[in-house]
Amino acid sequence: MSGDGPIQERVFRQGGIRWRRYYGEADASGSDAGRISPLVILHGLFGSGDNWQSQARSLSGRGNASRTVLVPDLPNHGDSFHTDSFTYPDQARVLWDALPGVLERCDLSPDTDLELLGHSMGGKIVMAMTLERPHRVSRLVVVDILPRVYAPRHEAILRGMRAVTEGAPPNRKAAERILERWIPEKAVRLFLLKSLAPDPESGPYRWKLNLEGITRCYDAISDWPYREGRYDGPVLFVRGALSPYIGDAPEGEIHRFFPRAVVTTVSDAGHWVHAEQRDAFLSVVREDET
């Protein structure tokens, strides 16, 4: 952890997106001199920035220095705005358009280089952001996803979430009972229920995320639209040893876009490697920085 005092958190909205900023006291001074590049962390499908609070706090301190870590709720998730369509180039542009104002609110230059880290769908978005503006990215970390088209794998989750909408449950416990018919894994149910909140007008619990839009755009979320593009900076791919998302010998797919990329495997971890093996994951990310 940083030697500059406790890590602070600030929440604000910019560009229709809810952002969380984590930083040490020294990083709030407004001076760019000697500062570590800010880190932007993007969560995965059905998630929100809340999922990364612990990791963001830890990554905001390094040795005796600190740096700003920015964690948004992605569009259609958490408390950010909803969209009618989804493509990875569009998602990249939405975030790049919002970031100058975000950085200025952190007393940073709007054209500051950034480190980007993304998990699953968020990993695809940070790859898209990097290919769209490689000159702005100082380092890229991609967690348990590849630059490829994936076959559908969330049908049961989407059906269960639609059943919750139709059931209009009065509380989370009732919502979990509905989800249980479709999703046997309790950890997955609890993860999804973080995006459930009571409707302030009608009372029953509802999804904060844009379930209708995500369902409609699911093919685009599974897609990888880039056929060309290149980033020659440092790239780390982190995969869970028990996850099916990357598999063996992925370097051919990766090096087409990211020729300097290295792949590191975390043992005893599945797709949510950052949560299942938090300390090992953080160690891998920090070691790659040096």
List residues with catalytic annotation. Answer: 120, 212, 271
Asked whether the beta carbons of 68 and 109 are under 8 A apart, the reply is: no
Closest by CA to 120, choosing from 90, 97, 154, is 154
Going from the C-alpha of 59 to that of each of 2, 16, 152, 273, 281, the distances in angstroms are 9, 25, 32, 16, 11
**Nearest alpha-carbon partner for 12 in 90, 93, 88, 104:** 104
* Parallel, antiparallel or unpaired: strands 114-119 and 39-42: parallel
**Nearest in space to 164 (alpha carbons), one of 142, 187, 183, 146:** 183
What phi-psi label fits residue 14: left (phi over 0), alpha (psi between -120 and 50 degrees) or beta? Answer: beta
Kind of pairing between the strands at 114-119 and 137-143: parallel
Q: Return d(Cα 24, Cα 39) in angstroms, integer.
A: 13
Q: How far apart are CA 89 and CA 232, in angstroms?
A: 19
Burial of 155 (0-12, 13-18, 19+ CB in 10 A): exposed
